[in-house]
Structure 1
Amino acid sequence: MSGILGNILGGVLGGGKGASAGPADILGDLLGGAGGGQDGGGLAGGLGGLIKSFDDNGLGDIARSWIAKGDNLPISAEQIEAVLGSGPLANIAGKLGIDPAHAAATVSQILPQIIDQLTPDGEASGGGLAGALSGGLGDILGKLGR
């Protein structure tokens, strides 16, 4: 399953080069690599740490909309760069063979849906990332690629 998701994610993020980067690696960069706007990234807080990074950048309401039931508020590529920092975005871009600006724009489209998928009923699910990868997350990524 992860090979299929890797191909989907690679297609979504540009050029098919992402097939060699596993989706868990990319999602790990998104959910575990939030640096609060600092280049180093590597925050070991998972989803909670990511939300804290959004709070620290004045964007907590946006991130909480993705967790809560209802509509997800949009986020811009510039806001994603402020929250994640250029280091994690460059890492994602490097794995996928795309430029960091394209990575930020794509993350701004998929991160709300990823977090929404990871937080059914407004809270983190017991299945976490593994459950999302085997569940509907592939469908979300596939729809974005169209």
Structure 2
Amino acid sequence: MSILGNLGSLFGGGNQTDAAAGGASLVSVAGQLIQQAGGIQGLTNLLQQHGMSDAVQSWVGNGANQAISSGQLGQALQNGGLNSVVAEAASKLGMSQDQVMNGLAQVLPHAVDHLTPNGQVPSNGSGLDLSSLAGLAGKLFGPHTDTA
């Protein structure tokens, strides 16, 4: 199932408009996580410390992105002190924290991949332009004919 289809079911019913709006919100939450973690470098370091090195390297590199489970992500974020970002997002979106974590586990690999187009993690998080994630939301959740 595509990310759009998965998020459509997350937002109740698979309506493409709901999925696009929810997907854009999840991309925004991913941006907040990246920011709170100290940029791409901070987030990748955190996830690598919690056993996700291979997956994180696949996101940064130029190949296919490896998946992570929402459980792995949740544990890393909680241990890294970032669970409050997820709790706040769940409250704002009217979703459970599990639903937000499931969505983030799908969106975060694409966000990191999108923000590291040359296969390199930027060394300074302060120079990160998170506004470029808006384009990612459109690519992932915008209207298209892919039903896979």
Query: Shorter-chain-normalised TM-score: which range?
Result: 0.5 to 0.7
Name 2:41's counterpart in structure 1: 48
Name 1:26's counterpart in structure 2: 29
Say which SS state the counterpart of residue 71 (structure 1) adopts.
coil
Query: Which of the pair has the greater relative contact order for Cα pairs under 8 Å at 6+ separation?
Result: 2
Name which of 55, 58, 62 aligns with 1:62: 55
Instruction: Return the offset for 1:129.
Output: 1.6
Instruction: Return the offset for 1:93.
Output: 1.0
1:67-100 deviation per Cα after TM superposition (whole angstroms, max 9, x unaligned): 1010111100101101222322212211211000
Identity of matched residues, %: 31
The 1:73–1:31 alpha-carbon spacing in structure 2 relative to 1, beyond 3 Å, is: same
1:5-64 deviation per Cα after TM superposition (whole angstroms, max 9, x unaligned): xxxxx9786365x67x9677523322123xxxxxxxxx3x11111011112212122111
How do 1:7-22 residues align onto structure 2 when only pairs under 5 Å count? 14=11
Q: TM-score under structure 1 normalisation?
A: 0.67
- Aligned partners of 1:62 and 1:73 also within 8 Å: yes
Name 2:104's counterpart in structure 1: 107
Q: TM-score under structure 2 normalisation?
A: 0.67
Say which SS state the counterpart of residue 84 (structure 1) adopts.
helix
The 1:129–1:122 alpha-carbon spacing in structure 2 relative to 1, beyond 3 Å, is: same
Say which SS state the counterpart of residue 67 (structure 2) adopts.
coil
Question: C-alpha separation between the residues in 2 aligned to 1:129 and 1:23?
Answer: 13
Unaligned runs of 5+ in 1: 1-9, 34-42
Question: C-alpha separation between the residues in 2 aligned to 1:94 and 1:23?
Answer: 13
The AA in structure 2 aligned to 1:138 is G
Unaligned runs of 5+ in 2: 1-6, 13-17
The AA in structure 2 aligned to 1:105 is N
Q: How many residues align?
A: 123
Give yes or no for the alignment of 1:94 onto 2:91.
Answer: yes
Instruction: Return the offset for 1:139.
Output: 1.2
